[in-house]
Amino acid sequence: MKERLAVCPGSFDPVTLGHLDIMQRAAKLFDRVTVLVSINRDKVPCFSAEERIEMIKEVTADIPNISVDRLDGLLADYVRDNGACAIVKGLRAMTDFEYEFQMALINKKLCPDAETVFLVTKEDNMYLSSSMVREVASFGGDISGFVPERISERIVKRLLNKTKG
Ligand code: PNS
């Protein structure tokens, strides 16, 4: 049978425990998962694409069927060109839904062979977002419960430096 590849796209600026949970669960459902770090031309990220990729590689190093790649263009094109069968997204609350629903419909139109699969977030991660992590870290707050331990210090150091001065 053909290997089933799923993609997990996002900004991951930075990756949180919520993202990691979705990646781990996707890795159990599919043969292979590629986490796609988006390069958004309209949004200047806090962490460069290289930094975001490096952090995801670090926190997923123990999951053999996960790899990380950058997404420079349309998600639907990447999915088609790489033969992925699914786009996996995490859903936190109803507030996520409208935007995610719209993206899922557009992606279905652009790439009818792939399915968007929504995984409902763990209750503990309902409130988590990269922007909240950035905000807390920039004021020197404790983000240890929000991001993987391995990258926590790196994020704090980086964001504290950014807001100094
Ligand atoms: O973490 P985010 O910011 O919610 O992720 C959004 C992302 C990266 C999944 C979305 O912006 C995306 O797919 N970007 C790639 C460009 C694209 O395909 N746009 C049309 C999607 S409807």
Please determine, for residue 52, whether its predicted confidence score (pLDDT) is greater than 80.
Answer: yes
Please determine, for residue 42, whether its predicted confidence score (pLDDT) is greater than 60.
Answer: yes
Mean pLDDT of the chain: 94
Contact partners, residue 66, CB within 8 Å, separation at least 6: 23, 27, 32, 33, 34, 35, 60
Give the model's pLDDT for residue 164. 54
128 CA from centroid of ligand 1 (Å)? 19
Q: Please tell me the residue having the least CA distance from ligand 1 atom 17.
A: 74
- Record: fold of 5-123: Rossmann fold (3.40.50)
* Ligand 1 atom closest to Cα of residue 11: 1
- 92 as an active site residue: the answer is yes
To test ligand 1's pocket by mutation, which of 52, 71, 87, 117 has the most ligand atoms within 8 angstroms of CB?
Answer: 71
Please determine, for residue 76, whether its predicted confidence score (pLDDT) is greater than 70.
Answer: yes
Give the model's pLDDT for residue 110. 98
- 43 as an active site residue: the answer is yes
| Marked catalytic residue, from 11, 130, 138, 152 | 130
- What is the CB < 6 Å shell around ligand 1? 9-11, 38, 71, 74-76, 103, 106-107
Give the model's pLDDT for residue 96. 85
Give yes or no for a contact between 59 and 25, defined as CB atoms under 8 angstroms apart: no
107 CA from centroid of ligand 1 (Å)? 10
Extents of the domains making up the chain:
5-123
Give the model's pLDDT for residue 142. 95
> Would you place residue 155 in the very low, low, confident or very high pLDDT band (cuts 50, 70, 90)?
very high
Euclidean distance between CA atoms 127 and 122, whole angstroms: 10
The average pLDDT across 148-164 equals 85
Distance set, CA 135 to CA 25, 40, 74, 87, 160 (Å): 27, 20, 29, 28, 10
The average pLDDT across 52-70 equals 98
Distance set, CA 56 to CA 23, 36, 59, 85, 123 (Å): 10, 10, 5, 22, 22
Query: pLDDT tens for residues 83-134?
Result: 999 999 999 987 788 999 999 999 999 999 999 999 999 999 999 999 999 9
Please determine, for residue 46, whether its predicted confidence score (pLDDT) is greater than 60.
Answer: yes
